[in-house]
Structure 1
């Protein structure tokens, strides 16, 4: 079963990675670079601070906790535990993939980029999605960043799916804790 799943994941990766286009290389490199998104994070924090004033600190803390938990689960727990090579480090695939950047770390399961972006998108959605339905578009951003990791040859599709699941669960848990803390402080 595991071999079949790995084979299917590899074949899907090769097909998706093979759909590259030279004009997409730039946008995908931009999406995959962590520093590209610092202005976005600053605007998001500023918006939350202005819009939610007193509540903003707790909301931002919940988002930071969700991203930290998802990042550490993917990077510090799963990657060393599973030892699944990134596609760009897999000798049998190196001649078959479209590398855009240097490969990076040795192991890829699960994707920290997917975990972190889906944690942020889910956290913001759960916190303010009812008031601001447009924040659902953060999922498109999370998908773009995640897909960029496959595009540059750093992750298999299941790495991204696992990362997205980790991020979603981390955000749901952190927002639930924040809501519980918020209700406790309103009652007291």
Structure 2
């Protein structure tokens, strides 16, 4: 069963990665950079301070920073423990896939997917009662995550697991935030 799943993962990666063309390389290479998303992170902070008291917004920002630290550590430790090579570093397929990035660390699970889904989930949960269009935050994670397949550095299962871990972590940290601030902050 694991063999079949890994074959599906490899074949699906090759198919999705192969859909890329030079016309879109700059777009997807830009999307995959974390610095591209700094304006979105700043929007989260601005919305917290506009929609909540300064004290509440401060704790929300701290919660988001703690979540980012947690998900980064969890992703890093999992990659070190499982040591799954990235597709771009896999000799059996790297000669016939499109490779736009060549990180040398491990693949499973995607830090881009986990962090984007985690932060979008927590921001959504914190702002959903005060911002009508907060659902739009969920446009970011799939783009960010798919960019990793496009540039040749993650398999679909890396993305799927990263998205699930990130979403669950966002929910967990939101609950931690509520538990820690319930008596004091609304």
Q: Please, which moves more after superposition, 81-90 or 39-48?
A: 39-48
Q: How many residues matched?
A: 185
- TM-score normalised by length of structure 2: 0.93
Q: Give distance in 1, aligned partners of 2:168 and 2:105.
A: 25
Q: What residue is the counterpart of 1:50 in the other structure?
A: 50
Structure 1 moving runs of 4+ over 6 Å: none
The answer as to 2:51 corresponding to 1:36 is no
In structure 1, the gaps of 5 or more residues are: none
Q: What SS class does the counterpart of residue 133 from structure 2 fall into? A: helix
Q: Please, which moves more after superposition, 131-140 or 115-124?
A: 131-140
In structure 2, the gaps of 5 or more residues are: none
Q: Does the CA-based 8 Å contact 2:56-2:185 persist in structure 1?
A: no
Q: What residue is the counterpart of 2:17 in the other structure?
A: 17
RMSD (Å) for aligned C-alpha atoms: 1.5
Alignment CA distance shift 1:88-1:173 (3 Å): same
Q: Give distance in 2, aligned partners of 1:186 and 1:71.
A: 27
Alignment CA distance shift 1:49-1:105 (3 Å): farther
Q: What residue is the counterpart of 2:87 in the other structure?
A: 87
Q: What residue is the counterpart of 1:68 in the other structure?
A: 69
Q: What residue is the counterpart of 1:176 in the other structure?
A: 175
- TM-score normalised by length of structure 1: 0.92
Give how far 1:71 is off.
Answer: 1.5
